[in-house]
Amino acid sequence: QKLCTMAGPDCSPQLIHPLPNKSLLLAVCAAGIGGTFQYGYNISVINAPTAYVQDFINQTWSKRYQTQISDDGLTLLWSTIVSIFTLGGLTGAMIGGTLSVRVGRKGTLLTNNIFAFLAALLMGLSYPTGLFELLIIGRFISGLNAGISICVQPLYLGEIAPTSLRGAMGMGTSIFITGGIFTGQVIGLRELLGKEEYWPILLSTTCIPAFLQLLILPWFPESPRYLLIDKGDEEGCKKALKQLHGIADCDGEREDIEKERNNLSGLQAKKPWELFADRSLRWQVLTIILLNAAQQLNGINAIYFYAGYVFKQSGIPTDKIPYATVGTGACECITALTCGMLIDCLGRKVLIMGGYTLMAICCILFTLTLTFQEASPVVPYLSMVCVFAFILSFGLGPGGVTNILTTELFTQNSRPAAYMLAGSVNWSSFFFIGLVFPFIVLGLKQYCFLVFLVICCLVIIYIFLVVPETKNKTFLEIQNEFQSSKKRQIGCSDGAGTILLSTSI
């Protein structure tokens, strides 16, 4: 870290963040392309061939049973193909942390590509073999791949980054998710692989990111923290730090890792259920559960549900709506990149609270514009502005900062278990909102956004009262801040007015 005196009323020195080492940036890209990129890509790529896959199911059913499939049966099969991805993701999240402890962060990411290749093969063979069941199995396996990726990649990025750049490097998770969504939307356009004859190839393209990761990631080291704390490999840790941070900057990080190792001496990696039994982690566990649930339940899925209707009402022709949808993907990408540049400057708390605050405002405005859609020709355009504003607000805070906080609120022995718990909550919430949301819309129509408004407001209050700022703090300093906060509450409640300050380690 470098200090530079900036002109200001108090003439206080301000922190200037050095640029990341080239090797560190490439390691982030190598982890991301076959990691959370797959999550975003597989969420969006399934939308383009919807009608073609349904035709394939219909034709296959007719040939097999000499009768037409019912509309309800077709809807059920298609819903299963789409939603089984979330069940695969939940399974992946539950095993990702364990794998990251046994074979390492990098080792898990590389091994995980087996699932991507298998999923691509099964989905590609579904059409020539006339077996739509292969699509269901393939989507489950691609969900398994995504679940492991979204659990282990943030873990790897958080552990290879220096303290001063941990936020920016951790945003690689969000950047690659949004990049995957955007790429899936673009590849699914009719000009590329969006035609009927290409849909099996389109669903098989999930093997390309996996191939790229197998080609690039082996050139980069395992997480230095994993090597020293989990494996006791001092030489390997030293080499990894030199490659990732450069010779000049590796000593400070090595010292920080040594302190954490000494603090955790004799402690084994925790299991997810052991987190609930540890009273010292109570607030951290509650925080990641609430933030990961809110990430899915804050209305972002509702916005995408209404986007097509809003675009149509704004006068965009039906055949041009996919291009407007690509615009929403580009919007998310730009916001994730912007958040990556701001997070180590403004801090995590400001961004995530700001994001939820803007989303709450958008919920109010979107409810009003949908209610008075017919009042004026201008109103549909205001609705379209609300769609993009909501997506921008989500990407600015909740979309990216949530994963970073999961990394930062825990130390080495509890971090993999925390990611398993966070991932399980996130995927369960994803499945729940997918199941319940159509009924919420049916019952409340546009007023469903008032439910999301309440959720956003409650999360803002919780973050303000409970979550500390983690910018430029080591993992041990963050843990001590939670402990000192708990002691202050105890000190205040016993009437003695005792104030206990955190110990600097």
Among 118-127, 150-159, 377-386, name the one with the lowest average pLDDT.
Answer: 377-386
Are the folds of 20-266 and 274-486 the same?
yes
The predicted model gives 144-163 an average pLDDT of 90
Q: Report pLDDT for 14.
A: 42
Alpha-helix runs per DSSP H in 397-499: 398-408, 415-444, 448-466, 475-493
What DSSP letter does each residue of 338-397 carry, written as one string? HHHHHHHHH-HHHHHHHHHHHHHHHHHHHHHHHHTTTT-TTHHHHHHHHHHHHHHHHHHT
pLDDT in tens, 28-83: 999 999 989 999 999 889 888 888 999 999 999 999 998 888 888 888 888 888 88
Extents of the domains making up the chain: 20-266, 274-486
The predicted model gives 273-291 an average pLDDT of 89
Nearest CA among 82, 88, 89 for reference residue 49: 82
pLDDT in tens, 433-448: 877 777 777 788 778 8
Please state the CATH superfamily assignment of the domain spanning residues 20-266 in this structure.
MFS general substrate transporter like domains (1.20.1250.20)
Token pair for 16 = 């200037």
Q: Are strands 13-16 and 2-5 parallel, antiparallel or unpaired?
A: antiparallel
Compute the distance between CA of residue 434 and CA of residue 121 in angstroms, rounded to an integer. Answer: 27
With bands split at pLDDT 50, 70 and 90, how would you rate the model's confidence at 305?
low
The predicted model gives 267-280 an average pLDDT of 83
The predicted model gives 192-203 an average pLDDT of 91
* Per-residue pLDDT at 240 exceeds 50: yes
**Can you state the angle between helices 475-493 and 250-263, rounded to 10 degrees?**
50
**Three-state DSSP class for residue 167:** helix
Burial class of residue 468 in the structure, from the number of CB atoms within 10 Å of its CB (0-12 exposed, 13-18 middle, 19+ buried): buried
What DSSP letter does each residue of 242-268 carry, written as one string? HHHH-TTTHHHHHHHHHHHHHHTTTPP
Nearest CA among 478, 347, 504, 350 for reference residue 415: 478
* Per-residue pLDDT at 149 exceeds 60: yes
CATH fold of 274-486 reads Growth Hormone; Chain: A; (1.20.1250)
Most confident stretch, 164-173, 356-365, 403-412: 356-365
pLDDT in tens, 419-433: 899 989 988 888 888
Alpha-helix runs per DSSP H in 66-206: 71-102, 105-129, 133-160, 166-170, 172-187, 199-204
